[in-house]
């Protein structure tokens, strides 16, 4: 894993947005779709802000962009302010010219009976488009990527998972109490993520320093699913000084 450390996470986010913008434009010139895997949470907010800026300045169109979000709580209604559907529209999709049909976010409303097939189809759709050209990731304190919590298998595909207690505690403030945080989520699998051609992971702040160290310097283990990224040949971790503070 290649890593880059920045004093200022806002500046780092702008650089990441520019890499994504360049990729989108490159694909436009080739007359091809650009397939992006996207994350929610606090880490990527400034990246989306800069992508929206570029669009508003007339420098970037999303007409060829197809997106797949990593995850969604389950069960969850899209209108709910805590949904990742809501987050993505609020921070990105409502402000750019993406075709709504090109937006894919796991549905927190799918019925139990349909769920297995739904998840298989999510991965199949990515595959049929030629895979993810780019995947943006955050990292949870459990070492999760997407919501692949400790114990997730390296060959796992998109599926329903049980959220770790630590993850639910970290989400408690968004939900006004841990008891309101859903117990489950749908997440892209480790293997879905690992097939992306390019991966950028963002980690900001002290709270991430221990898991960042494990991810970069630790043994590859399902106990910290982010360590699987060590086996990918095109991953960059973008860190601020606090997140990097435990690295040797
Ligand atoms: C979000 C996701 C999660 C977050 C992680 C970090 O779609 O898949 O893995 O990236 O929990 O969250 P923040 O950025 O809020 O610290």
What value of ipTM does the predicted structure carry?
0.99
Alpha carbon nearest to ligand 1 atom 10, residue: 138
Question: Domain of 64: which CATH number?
Answer: 3.40.50.1360
Which residues form the pocket of ligand 1, taking CB atoms under 6 Å from any ligand atom? 39-43, 70-71, 138-140, 144-147
Per the domain annotation, does 49 fall within a domain?
A: yes
Instruction: Please tell me the predicted confidence (pLDDT) of residue 159.
Output: 98
Do residues 214 and 143 make contact, with C-beta atoms less than 8 angstroms apart?
yes
Q: Is 242 inside any structural domain?
A: no
Residue keyed to tokens 């106990």: 223
Provide the number of structural domains found in the chain: 1
Full residue range of the structural domain in which residue 218 is found = 2-230
3-state SS class at 36? strand
Looking from the CA of residue 167, the nearest atom of ligand 1 is: 11
What is the Cα–Cα distance from 219 to 180, expressed in whole angstroms?
Answer: 35
Closest atom of ligand 1 to CA, residue 40: 7
Q: Is residue 248 part of a domain?
A: no
Q: Is 56 exposed, middle or buried (0-12, 13-18, 19+ CB in 10 A)?
A: exposed
246: in domain: no
26 within a domain of the structure (yes/no): yes
217 is catalytic: no
Residue ranges with strand state E in the chain: 2-6, 34-38, 65-69, 71-74, 103-104, 134-137, 159-162, 184-187, 199-203, 235-240
Residue ID of nearest Cα to ligand 1 atom 11? 140
Q: Compute the distance between CA of residue 180 and CA of residue 173 in angstroms, rounded to an integer.
A: 10
Ligand 1: atom nearest CA of 39 is: 7
Q: At what angle do helices 45-56 and 9-29 cross, to 10 degrees?
A: 50
* Torsion on CA atoms 173, 174, 180, 185, rounded to nearest 10: -120
Catalytic residue among 19, 77, 79, 149: 149
Residue with tokens 């389950």: 74
| 116 touches 152 (CB < 8 A) | no
In a domain, 243, yes or no: no
CA 135 to chain centre: 7
Residue for token pair 């987050």: 87
Distance from C-alpha of 233 to C-alpha of 31, rounded to nearest angstrom: 26
Q: 137: CA distance to ligand 1 center in Å?
A: 7
pLDDT score for 111 = 98
Q: Does residue 239 form part of some domain? A: no
Over the chain (248 residues), the average pLDDT of each successive run of 10 is 97 98 98 99 98 98 99 98 98 98 98 98 98 98 98 98 98 97 98 98 98 98 98 98 98
Are 13 and 50 in contact by the 8 Å Cβ rule? The answer is yes
Establish whether the linkage from the previous residue to 75 is cis, with ω within 30° of 0.
yes
Q: Is residue 175 a part of any domain in this protein?
A: yes
């Amino acid at each position: 894993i290649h890593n880059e450390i920045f004093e200022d996470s806002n500046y780092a986010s702008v650089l990441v947005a520019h890499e994504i913008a360049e990729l989108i434009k490159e694909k436009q010139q080739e007359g091809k779709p650009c397939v992006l895997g996207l994350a929610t949470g606090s880490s990527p907010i400034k990246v989306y802000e800069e992508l929206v800026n570029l669009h508003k300045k007339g420098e970037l169109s999303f007409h060829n962009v197809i997106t797949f979000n990593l995850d969604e709580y389950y069960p969850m209604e899209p209108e709910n302010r805590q949904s990742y559907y809501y987050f993505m529209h609020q921070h990105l999709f409502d402000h750019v010219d993406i075709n709504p049909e090109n937006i894919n976010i796991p549905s927190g409303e799918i019925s139990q009976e349909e769920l297995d097939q739904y998840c298989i189809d999510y991965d199949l759709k990515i595959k049929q488009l030629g895979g993810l050209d780019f995947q943006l990731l955050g990292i949870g304190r459990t070492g999760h990527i997407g919501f692949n919590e400790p114990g997730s298998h390296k060959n796992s595909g998109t599926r329903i998972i049980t959220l770790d207690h630590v993850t639910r505690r970290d989400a408690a403030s968004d939900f006004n109490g841990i008891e309101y945080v859903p117990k489950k989520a749908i997440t892209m699998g480790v293997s879905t993520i690992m097939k992306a051609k390019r991966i950028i992971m963002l980690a900001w702040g002290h709270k991430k320093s221990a898991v960042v160290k494990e991810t970069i310097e630790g043994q590859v283990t399902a106990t910290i699913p982010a360590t699987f990224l060590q086996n990918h040949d095109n991953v960059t971790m973008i860190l601020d000084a606090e997140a990097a503070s435990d690295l040797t």
